[in-house]
Amino acid sequence: FRILVTPGDGIGPEVMEEALKVLGRVQQRFGHEFLYEEETIGGAAIDRYGVALRPETIAKAKASHAVLFGAVGGPKWDDPRASVRPEDAILGMRKQLGLFANLRPVRVSPELIGESTLKPEVLQGVDMVVIRELTGGLYFGKPKRRWENAEGRQAVDTLRYSEREVARVCHVAFQLARQRRKKVTSVDKANVLRTGQLWREIATEVGKQYPDVELEHILVDACAMYLVRRPASFDVIVTENMFGDILTDEAAMLAGSMGMMPSASLGRQRKDGTGIGLYEPIHGSAPDIAGQGKANPLAMILSAAMMLRLSLGLEQEAKAVEDAVDAVIREGLRTPDIAGPGAKVVDTRTMGSAVA
Amino acid sequence: FRILVTPGDGIGPEVMEEALKVLGRVQQRFGHEFLYEEETIGGAAIDRYGVALRPETIAKAKASHAVLFGAVGGPKWDDPRASVRPEDAILGMRKQLGLFANLRPVRVSPELIGESTLKPEVLQGVDMVVIRELTGGLYFGKPKRRWENAEGRQAVDTLRYSEREVARVCHVAFQLARQRRKKVTSVDKANVLRTGQLWREIATEVGKQYPDVELEHILVDACAMYLVRRPASFDVIVTENMFGDILTDEAAMLAGSMGMMPSASLGRQRKDGTGIGLYEPIHGSAPDIAGQGKANPLAMILSAAMMLRLSLGLEQEAKAVEDAVDAVIREGLRTPDIAGPGAKVVDTRTMGSAVA
Ligand SMILES: CC(C)[C@H](C(=O)O)[C@@H](O)C(=O)O
Ligand SMILES: CC(C)[C@H](C(=O)O)[C@@H](O)C(=O)O
């Protein structure tokens, strides 16, 4: 198995180290060989090469089974007017590798239920996956530019979707729902946006091909409300890129910390259900705590588990990693982000080693 | 004072009746004369006139000091492909009256703190106003259309902002912050959107004119998180139209129910600080409970209070209405949406009469 490793900036390298530690243990225990290549991306790549993502890196990604992606960005590269930005790395990977479906599972572990700002009774039974369309919509639509005219500065972004783009991500949602509680919630803004109307129409049509799966449509503003009001009612949510960005960060708060939230970004699948994927924690590079051993490596480790399952087809190995994470949580190990009063606080490495 | 009243659909007429009852009491008690005109809008207007908003209605609005707007929409008019839609009424009002700043205050009354799904300690001290840009962005940008080509159905919406549009709504935010805790949080997606970069740049420039007000910038995804994580840290939030739609519905959940949340939509102000405004609850027409006396009229009543203050310049009268709402809540009156176990549940009219 060939794996491209891109640690990135901030806490990226620290949490990556722990994920690789755990994968090392998987190799040993299950007798696999993982071949790693490492590439510099993000702010670090801007410093070194002048760009956040080199064509060489994309070529290596394409020759791999999966990409393990840390995090990018930091104050050093934060000028909004800069022509190269750390985010180019993640946006470029997603687009150039055709990773159109971003899966973000949200589960609340019983031991961590107290870490959330929501009441425990509301969190009972929360177990959803948000599928965010990842290569279309406002992120990539053209025109996307700034200019100046007699009336001053102007800017435009374009929210564009095609039938094909909506249909393929909806299929991913329905297929996943079939393996779960058989409910898809499609989120749009059909009462205001033309793309929202298209989204709803296509979701409905795709849904007809999955008569065993229940389909509901809700507006994005209502969804933002229901995620806080009755989160346990969701199974699979599918939505467009920008809405998914907002709603998944909101949903992450159900679990108390972003430090627990993995994600998988998938493109076209092979016949056996696997395919090249990019795996990243949904947290950012957290420059404020970088290098201090405070970062929670579990999101990165759980992302590696998703890689084992979805790109390498190693279900048993994925399960072993997830079980190990559950076990260390049950044993009471906590990084600062998930440490309630009186908890046993450990550093990034200790947490990684415990899982390994 | 000339007031245009547009009750609309669903629970709109029921909650409007209670707001007018309270305003009747204000007239009597403070010796004012309110001249009402009533217009049919939304779904009801589609049935009667074939359109959701007639030019006559806009003309009457322009000749008024304020518009009291109920709610529009319902399953009967819900076909996403219909060429006329109830929402045209509210979108048309906002655009044609130039109401570019939508103020949505979020306060959590101590008596209702238990109604929220968030823990009480997180809600302590929550007191913010979200200012949503209301006549630009994705809602109104052109092109906004659907078409079909060899690759199937396509749709596009356009997110466009000009310097002038961003600056004027930012000024509203800073001016309001001056009367409050002197902090503005500007929300954008500057790491992905060109309009986000423009937004951040202009917000920064406008902020320089208010050196006494602290300005912070956060990304919209982070904001969705912080609203649940540490809501008390916000004073005034200012953001673009679509983000504001999503974030304010999320923020409404802090108060437990949308039934408590008023809003004011303002355009250019007169010298004395007043100006034509539209006042509406942020809840919808709730067709499922319409006509059953279950609707909470407080959001509409509090919207009328905002009208007294912001369009009619009647601060003392506004305060009297708000105090009356606080008093009935303290006395324990509850409509079903805010009724905890053991609460004294009353119907829409009883609640309105109690406030009056
Ligand atoms: C870093 C940024 C470009 C990215 C996004 O907006 O997609 C991040 O917020 C995410 O959710 O993965
Ligand atoms: C009814 C709808 C068009 C409206 C909007 O999206 O602005 C509503 O959700 C609101 O927030 O006032």
- Measured between its terminal Cα atoms, the distance across chain A in Å is 20
| Residue A64 near residue A132 (C-beta atoms within 8 A) | no
Task: Kindly state the average pLDDT of the residues B245-273.
Answer: 91
| Residue A89 near residue A61 (C-beta atoms within 8 A) | no
| Residue A28 near residue A22 (C-beta atoms within 8 A) | no
Residues 6+ apart with CB under 8 A from B39: B4, B5, B6, B54, B56, B57, B60
- Measured between its terminal Cα atoms, the distance across chain B in Å is 20
Model confidence at B258, pLDDT cuts 50, 70, 90, reads: confident
Handedness of CA B112, B113, B118, B119 (dihedral sign): negative
Strand ranges across the sheet with A2-8: A35-38, A2-8, A66-71, A277-281, A262-266, A101-107, A127-133, A236-239, A183-188, A214-219
> If contacts are CB pairs under 8 Å, which of residues 225-284 in chain A contact chain B?
225, 227-229, 242-243, 245-250, 252-253, 258
pLDDT in tens, B166-217: 999 999 999 999 999 999 999 999 999 999 999 999 999 999 999 999 999 9
Query: Does the beta-carbon distance from B225 to A258 stay under 8 Å?
Result: yes
Query: Does the beta-carbon distance from B195 to A252 stay under 8 Å?
Result: no
- The closest of A11, A6, A3, A19 to A300, measured between CA atoms, is A19
∠ CA A65-A66-A68, nearest 5°, is 155
Q: Hunting for tokens 């209605």 — which residue is that?
A: B57
Residue A75's Cβ-count burial label (10 Å; 0-12, 13-18, 19+) is: exposed
Q: Let me know if B157 is a catalytic residue.
A: no
A286 belongs to an annotated ligand binding site:
yes
pLDDT for res A321: 98
Selected residue of B186, B228, B261 to mutate for chain A interface (largest A Cβ count, 10 A):
B228
The 8-class DSSP code of residue B22 comes to: H
The 8-class DSSP code of residue A269 comes to: P
pLDDT in tens, B221-241: 999 999 999 999 999 999 999
∠ CA A309-A315-A317, nearest 5°, is 95
| Residue A274 near residue A170 (C-beta atoms within 8 A) | no
Chain A to chain B Cβ contacts (< 8 Å): 188
A96 C-beta neighbours (distance < 10 Å), count: 16
| Residue B237 near residue B130 (C-beta atoms within 8 A) | yes
Minimal Cβ distance to B246: which of A85, A138, A224? A224
pLDDT for res A340: 85
Query: Does the beta-carbon distance from B157 to A258 stay under 8 Å?
Result: no
Q: How many residues does chain A have?
A: 356
Model confidence at B81, pLDDT cuts 50, 70, 90, reads: confident
Sketch the domain layout of chain B as residue ranges.
1-99+257-356, 117-255
Q: Is A250 in the pocket of ligand 1 (CB under 6 A)?
A: no
Cα A214 from Cα A218, distance rounded (Å): 13
Q: Let me know if B88 is a catalytic residue.
A: no
> If contacts are CB pairs under 8 Å, which of residues 334-353 in chain B contact chain A?
none
Q: Is A222 in the pocket of ligand 2 (CB under 6 A)?
A: no
Which pair of tokens denotes residue B18?
A: 């209670």
Catalytic residue among A62, A144, A221, A344: A221
∠ CA A139-A141-A144, nearest 5°, is 85
Q: Let me know if A210 is a catalytic residue.
A: no
Q: Is A87 in the pocket of ligand 1 (CB under 6 A)?
A: yes
Looking at the DSSP bridge assignments, the partners of residue A129 are A105, A236
The region that residue A262 occupies, defined by phi over 0 for left and psi between -120 and 50 for alpha, beta otherwise, is beta
Beta strands in B92-179 (DSSP E): 101-107, 127-133, 141-149, 152-162
pLDDT for res A273: 72
pLDDT for res A356: 98
* Helix, strand, coil share of chain A (percent; to 5): 45, 25, 30
Report the percentage of chain B scoring pLDDT > 90.
Answer: 93
B233 belongs to an annotated ligand binding site:
no
Residue-wise burial string across A160-190, b where 16 or more C-beta atoms lie within 10 A, e elsewhere: bbbbebbbbbbebbbebbeeeeebbbbbbbb
B120 belongs to an annotated ligand binding site:
no
Q: Which of A191, A223, A243 to mutate to test the pocket of ligand 2 (most atoms within 8 A of CB)?
A: A191
Q: Let me know if A249 is a catalytic residue.
A: yes
Beta strands in chain A (DSSP E): 2-8, 35-38, 66-71, 101-107, 127-133, 141-149, 152-162, 183-188, 214-219, 236-239, 262-266, 277-281, 333-334, 344-345
Helix, strand, or coil (residue A20): helix
CA A26 from centroid of its chain's CA atoms: 22
Count H helices and E strands in chain A, helices first. 12, 14
B43, B45, B50, B51: CA torsion to nearest 10: -80
| A117-255 and A1-98+272-356 share a CATH fold | yes
Nearest C-alpha to atom 9 of ligand 2 is from which residue?
A: B245
Cα B303 from Cα B259, distance rounded (Å): 11
Residues 6+ apart with CB under 8 A from A105: A128, A129, A130, A261, A262
pLDDT for res B271: 76
B194 belongs to an annotated ligand binding site:
no
pLDDT for res A258: 86
Residue-wise burial string across A200-239, b where 16 or more C-beta atoms lie within 10 A, e elsewhere: bbbbeebbeebeebebebbbbbbbbbbbbbebeebbbbbb
Query: Does the beta-carbon distance from B242 to A189 stay under 8 Å?
Result: yes
- The closest of B211, B251, B209 to B231, measured between CA atoms, is B251
- The closest of A51, A33, A45 to A69, measured between CA atoms, is A45
HSE at residue A240, side-chain half, CA atoms within 13 A, is: 33
Give me the tens of pLDDT residue by residue for chain A, a chain 356 residues long. Answer: 999 999 999 999 999 999 999 999 999 999 999 999 999 999 999 999 999 999 999 999 999 999 999 999 999 998 877 889 999 999 999 999 999 999 999 999 899 999 999 999 999 999 999 999 999 999 999 999 999 999 999 999 999 999 999 999 999 999 999 999 999 999 999 999 999 999 999 999 999 999 999 999 999 999 999 999 999 999 999 999 999 999 999 999 998 888 999 999 999 887 777 789 999 999 999 999 999 999 999 999 999 999 999 999 999 999 999 999 999 999 999 999 999 888 889 999 999 999 99
Helix, strand, or coil (residue A34): coil
Query: How far is the CA of A165 from the CAs of A169, A172, B156, in angstroms?
Result: 7, 11, 13
pLDDT in tens, B278-323: 999 999 999 999 999 999 999 999 999 999 999 999 999 999 999 9
Q: At the topology level of CATH, where does B1-99+257-356 sit?
A: Isopropylmalate Dehydrogenase (3.40.718)
Cα A356 from Cα A312, distance rounded (Å): 19
Cα B325 from Cα B305, distance rounded (Å): 10
- The closest of B244, B158, B134 to A194, measured between CA atoms, is B158
> If contacts are CB pairs under 8 Å, which of residues 133-172 in chain B contact chain A?
138-139, 141, 144-146, 151-164
Amino acid identity at B340: G
pLDDT for res A299: 97
Residues 6+ apart with CB under 8 A from B83: none
Alpha helices in A97-240 (DSSP H): 120-123, 163-178, 194-208, 220-229
Minimal Cβ distance to A163: which of B152, B192, B197? B152
Distance A249 CA to ligand 1 centre (A): 10
> If contacts are CB pairs under 8 Å, which of residues 58-97 in chain A contact chain B?
73, 80-81, 85, 87, 91
pLDDT for res A238: 98
- The closest of A49, A147, A142 to A95, measured between CA atoms, is A142
pLDDT for res B254: 94
pLDDT for res A82: 84
Cα A40 from Cα A42, distance rounded (Å): 7
Cα A8 from Cα A21, distance rounded (Å): 17
Which of the listed CATH numbers 3.30.2310.20, 3.40.718.10, 1.10.150.120, 3.60.70.12 matches domain A1-98+272-356? 3.40.718.10
User: Taking 90 as the threshold, does the pLDDT of residue B261 lie above it?
Assistant: yes
pLDDT in tens, B41-69: 999 999 999 999 999 999 999 999 999 99
pLDDT for res B272: 77
| Residue B52 near residue B72 (C-beta atoms within 8 A) | yes
Helix, strand, or coil (residue A106): strand
Q: What are the DSSP calls for B304-354, one per residue? A: HHHHHHHTS--HHHHHHHHHHHHHHHHTTEE-GGG--TT-EE--HHHHHHH
Q: Is A90 in the pocket of ligand 1 (CB under 6 A)?
A: yes
CATH code for the structural domain at A117-255: 3.40.718.10
A-chain residues near B246 (CB < 8 A): 220-221, 224, 243, 246
